[in-house]
C-alpha cells in the first residue's frame, strides 16, 4: 500500500460533481492499494501518518504531527499509484488490487486513520474526482507500507 502525503493549508475533493470532502490545515493523502495488501498495511500507514512530525512548531521546525496541530485529513483512492511504467510509454495497472478488495482496504485505512485523527474526509472510491489542494511547504512524502512492515 502506498500513500502520498502532502501537508496542506486546505484541500477538497469533488466526486462525480458533488463536494464530498473539504479540510483546512492538515494532510491530503492519495492511497494506492496493491495486490496482496492486507489490513496490517493500512494499520501501519495510519499509525505512522498520524504521528509523522511534518508541521512547524513555534520555532519553525518540523516538530509537530497532524494530531499536535488538531489538523484534518482528506483521503482519495488512486489506483494509478500502482502504475508499472517500466516498459513502453503507456503504464499498466496490473499490480493494483481488484476494485472490490481495494475498496475494502481503502475503507479500512480510513477507519484506522479516524482512530487517530478526528476529522477525516474522503472522496468516493471509483468515482471521477476533481482534487484540489493548497500545498503548504511544499511538503510531500511517499510512504510505502512494505517499508514500515520490514
pTM score, whole prediction: 0.96
What whole-number percentage of the chain has pLDDT above 90?
99
Q: 2-148: which CATH topology?
A: 3.50.80
| In the chain, where the domains are located | 2-148
SS3 55: strand
Going from the C-alpha of 145 to that of each of 44, 68, 132, the distances in angstroms are 6, 23, 25
pLDDT tens-digit map of 135-145 = 999 999 999 99
Do 140 and 4 form a contact (C-beta atoms < 8 A)? yes
Quick count: other Cβ atoms within 10 Å of Cβ 10?
A: 17
The predicted model gives 90-113 an average pLDDT of 98
Question: What pLDDT sits at residue 38?
Answer: 98
Residue 101: what pLDDT?
98
Q: What is the pLDDT of residue 67?
A: 97
Do 2 and 31 contact (CB within 8 A), yes or no? Answer: yes
> CA Rg, the chain, in Å?
15
pLDDT number for residue 56: 97
* Residue 52 in grid coordinates: 509523522
Amino acid at each position: 500500500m502506498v500513500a502520498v502525503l502532502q501537508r496542506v493549508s486546505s484541500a477538497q475533493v469533488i466526486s462525480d460533481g458533488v463536494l464530498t470532502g473539504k479540510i483546512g490545515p492538515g494532510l491530503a493523502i492519495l492511497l494506492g492499494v496493491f495486490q496482496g495488501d492486507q489490513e496490517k498495511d493500512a494499520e501501519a500507514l495510519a499509525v505512522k501518518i498520524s504521528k509523522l512530525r511534518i508541521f512547524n512548531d513555534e520555532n519553525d521546525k518540523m516538530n509537530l504531527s497532524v494530531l499536535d496541530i488538531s489538523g484534518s485529513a482528506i483521503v482519495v483512492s488512486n489506483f494509478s499509484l500502482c502504475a508499472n511504467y517500466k516498459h513502453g510509454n503507456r503504464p499498466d495497472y496490473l499490480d493494483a488490487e481488484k476494485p472490490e478488495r481495494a475498496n475494502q482496504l481503502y475503507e479500512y485505512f480510513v477507519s484506522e486513520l479516524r482512530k487517530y485523527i478526528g476529522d477525516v474526509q474522503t472522496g468516493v472510491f471509483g468515482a471521477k474526482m476533481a482534487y484540489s489542494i493548497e500545498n503548504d511547504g511544499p511538503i510531500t512524502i511517499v510512504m510505502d507500507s512494505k517499508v514500515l512492515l520490514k
